Amino acid sequence: MEKSIRVKNVSKKYKLYKNKKEQLLDVVTRKSYGQDFYALANIDFEAEKGDVVGFIGINGSGKSTLSNIIAGIVPETTGTVEVNGDAALIAVSAGLKGDLTGRENIELKCLMLGFSKKEIKNMEDDIIEFSELGEFIDQPVKSYSSGMKSRLGFAISVTVDPDILIIDEALSVGDKTFAEKSLAKMKQFKEKGKTMIFVSHSIAQVKQFCEKILWLEYGTVKDFGTVEEVMPKYEKFIRQWRKMSKAERETYKQEADKRKKKILEMTS
Amino acid sequence: MKSALMIIKEQISNFYLVRRLSLYELKSKNQNNYLGILWEFLNPAIQILIYWFVFGTLRSRDPVDVGGVHIQFFSWLLAAFFMWNFFYQSTIQGSKSIYTKLRMLSKMNFPMSVIPSYVIFAQFYIHIVMLLISIVILQFSGYYINMYYVQLIYYIFAAYCLVFAVSLITSTLSTIVRDFHMLLNSSLRMMLYVSGVLWPITILANEFPKIMQFLKLNPLIYLIDGYRSALFGVEWHFIVHWQYTIYFWGLVIVLFIIGSALHVKFRRHFIDFL
């Protein structure tokens, strides 16, 4: 099987600064200031062509960071990411310009993706139709509701027909009918054998749609496998997590952080 | 050196993109005003009237001597002011271009050097229109079209190169340290007074020749003198002052090499600085 995404030993480090002075010193001087925070620690993950992978995990587990790295929006700190083909990320209102109208945004976005004027003209109608924006398409995007923005974002991304589609919570804002329509569109993509990554908190949507699951926990891979393997474990974990008190959650997090540190030490 | 060549290649192969994006830039900037793009011209027009009033009327400036020809103060001011406006606007816009537009682009493999470039190009359209308006006004003031106008093409190109080279540096630095943009903003305001836009720096020639020489290191003065020589039909400025021409291009090339090295070094990590 052809590999579509290959993520190898990827870590992402962010720096946490106490104040602006630390940040400035860190940029200007050779010495390192501020506290390191690893949003991702040594992630290994592969997706074959045609896979539909769900990223799950509680808040702060690094799902969005990883999808941003795969989409090529955020650079990784260490490790390598190989992506075969174009990856498009759909997040709520990603990259829309508020001052321009919906139609102008479509043109602008497609232009930056490298389409010619004629191709854009051809795609425009499809995008407008799919987004169901109607006459609002000629209104500035800043007047849109969050649902309208994500509809437009979604419509653009699916119409430009990327090889790899990464959907980051984008369907949680639209109403039910649009979510269903989007799911139907994604099913079409699935049938075409495109790779998809689906970041969601909705266990039901993930179950319905994904084949494989990458379970992230505080920046590390907790589990990776088919839905049948991983989902029961995750559901069990979530039930436990809900019952935990604040203090218990804190100790759990500290233990996870310790594990993360060990992983990082082993690799460096 | 390698990064400089890379940037040049990127510019050439994405020229279509630069042109298209610059139109959207103009559109989105003026969407909220009723007068729209007209403000791009009204603003400098109001400014020049103020300077004319303060320096020309209140301080009653005498006609200025450009290469042996006496030029009325207003025409003299006009010939440099739109040049200054282009430099000022595109340096400011270019400097903040990357950190304001990066979210919108959100792709690392996008040719980043296009960002300052298309912002400058948007200003470039305005510059051309303002140049044409100034030429029309000059016709009524008695400074007619002459063959020296040909060198305007050269000076417009030179101005574009200077602004682009400067913007590569400033846009990178402003993205990393936002305060740099503030610093640039205030120092540019000062630049207006020492670039020979409002008063001829030649008045220093007799008493403070050293200071005049020092001020002439400012590449803007080269451009401004060139524009004036062309518009008033004085001389083939870039040939007559060939040493100054060599200095100007030497400076532009050095700035460009520094700028592209900085830009290429940080381009992948711009998003981390937002």
Residue A94 lies in a domain: no
B165 torsion bin: left (phi>0), alpha (psi -120 to 50), beta (else) = alpha
Residue A211: which CATH number? 3.40.50.300
Rg (CA), chain B: 19
Chain A closest CA to B181's CA: distance in Å? 15
For residues A117-126, give the mean pLDDT: 87
**Which is higher by pLDDT, A181 or A70?**
A70
**The pLDDT of residue A94 is above 70:** no
Chain A closest CA to B157's CA: distance in Å? 26
**The pLDDT of residue A247 is above 90:** no
Tokens of B131: 């140049």
Chain A residues within an 8 Å CB radius of B24: 100, 104, 107-108, 111
Buried b (16+ CB within 10 A) or exposed e, A18-32: eeeeebeeeeeeeee
Residue A239 lies in a domain: no
Query: Are the C-beta atoms of B257 and B8 separated by less than 8 Å?
Result: no
Q: Where are the beta strands (DSSP E) in chain B?
A: 64-66, 69-71
> What DSSP designation does B56 have?
I
Residue partners of B273: CB distance under 8 A and separation at least 6: B99, B175, B176
pTM of this prediction? 0.84
Query: Are the C-beta atoms of A267 and A8 separated by less than 8 Å?
Result: no
CA distance A216 to A39: 11
CA distance B42 to B47: 9
For residues A3-10, give the mean pLDDT: 86
Q: Return the pLDDT at B166.
A: 94
Chain A residues within an 8 Å CB radius of B31: 99-100, 140
For residues B252-266, give the mean pLDDT: 93
Chain B closest CA to A243's CA: distance in Å? 37
**The pLDDT of residue A253 is above 60:** yes
Contact A99 B28 (CB under 8 A): yes
Chain B closest CA to A256's CA: distance in Å? 25
Number of residue pairs across A and B with CB atoms under 8 Å? 54
Q: Return the pLDDT at B252.
A: 95
Contact A112 B21 (CB under 8 A): yes
Residue partners of A150: CB distance under 8 A and separation at least 6: A90, A92, A93, A170, A171, A173, A174
Most confident of A113-127, A192-206, B97-111, B122-136: B122-136
Q: How many domains does chain A have?
A: 1
**The pLDDT of residue A92 is above 70:** no
User: CA of A100: which chain B residue's CA is closest?
Assistant: B28
Q: Return the pLDDT at B107.
A: 63
Contact B28 A89 (CB under 8 A): no
Note whether A104 contacts B: Cβ–Cβ < 8 A: yes
**The pLDDT of residue B108 is above 60:** no
Chain B residues within an 8 Å CB radius of A82: none
The complex's ipTM? 0.75
Chain A residues within an 8 Å CB radius of B109: 72
pLDDT tier for residue A164 given thresholds of 50, 70 and 90:
confident
Q: Which residue among A75, A100, A112 places its CB closest to the CB of B28? A: A100
Q: Which residue among A24, A100, A104 places its CB closest to the CB of B177? A: A24
Look at residues B107, B114, B118, B27 and name the one whose alpha carbon lies nearest to residue A157.
B107
Q: Which residue among B17, B24, B107 places its CB closest to the CB of A72? A: B107
Residue A73 lies in a domain: yes
| pLDDT 10s digits, B41-89 | 888 888 888 888 887 777 666 777 776 777 888 888 888 888 899 999 9
| pLDDT 10s digits, A60-84 | 888 888 888 888 888 888 888 888 8
Contact B104 A97 (CB under 8 A): yes
Residues 19-38 of B with CB under 8 A from A: 20-21, 24, 27-29, 31-32
Q: Return the pLDDT at B162.
A: 94
Note whether B271 contacts A: Cβ–Cβ < 8 A: yes
Contact B176 A27 (CB under 8 A): yes
Q: Which domain holds residue A213?
A: 3-86+162-234
B160 torsion bin: left (phi>0), alpha (psi -120 to 50), beta (else) = alpha
Q: Phi first, then psi: give them for residue B58, nearest 5 degrees.
A: -65, -45
Q: Return the pLDDT at B241.
A: 87
Query: Are the C-beta atoms of B104 and B4 separated by less than 8 Å?
Result: no
Q: Return the pLDDT at A268.
A: 65
Kindly list the domain boundaries of chain B, sorted by start residue. Answer: 2-273
**The pLDDT of residue A93 is above 60:** no
Q: Which residue among A73, A94, A111 places its CB closest to the CB of B108? A: A73
Count the neighbouring beta carbons within 10 Å of the beta carbon of residue A235. 12
Rg (CA), chain A: 20
Tokens of B232: 């008033």
Residues 91-130 of B with CB under 8 A from A: 103-110
CA distance A30 to A14: 17
The structure tokens 């001597």 sit at B65
What's the sign of the alpha-carbon dihedral B110, B111, B112, B114? Answer: negative
Q: Return the pLDDT at A243.
A: 86
Q: Return the pLDDT at B231.
A: 87
User: CA of A23: which chain B residue's CA is closest?
Assistant: B177
In whole angstroms, how far apart are CA B213 and each of B74, B207, B209, B210, B236? 25, 12, 6, 5, 21
Query: Are the C-beta atoms of B116 and B193 separated by less than 8 Å?
Result: no
| pLDDT 10s digits, B162-218 | 999 999 999 999 988 888 899 999 999 888 888 877 787 777 777 888 888 888 888
Contact B272 A74 (CB under 8 A): yes
Contact B106 A94 (CB under 8 A): yes
Q: Return the pLDDT at A171.
A: 65
| pLDDT 10s digits, B141-150 | 888 888 888 8
Residue type, B146: N
